[in-house]
Amino acid sequence: MASRPPLTGTRPPAFLSKASLAAELDISESTVDEWVRRGLLPRPIRLSGSVRWSWAHVCAALHPEVEQEADPFMTGLGNVA
């Protein structure tokens, strides 16, 4: 199978296939499987019959020391009585 080029653009991808995730991380698809097994990457989710990884969850798993930006909507819910 031919290697896919990394994703480009100004906005990060929302959900990636295994091939796209492997290309973005510059690793093989078998390494994706191994990293999921070892807990380095989150488990994929199923969207309309397709297996996908949330890019936000992948970033959080690979950079746990980086505090993720708070969602203003979710923060506002804390103010509701």
How is residue 41 written in tokens? 């990457």
pLDDT tens across 4-36, in order? 666 666 666 789 999 999 999 999 999 999 999
pLDDT tens across 48-61, in order? 899 999 999 999 99
DSSP string, 10-74: SS--SEE-HHHHHHHHT--HHHHHHHHHHTSSPPPEEETTEEEEEHHHHHHHH-TTSPPPPPHHH
Q: Is the dihedral of CA 57, 39, 34, 47 positive or negative?
A: negative
pTM for this model (two decimals): 0.67
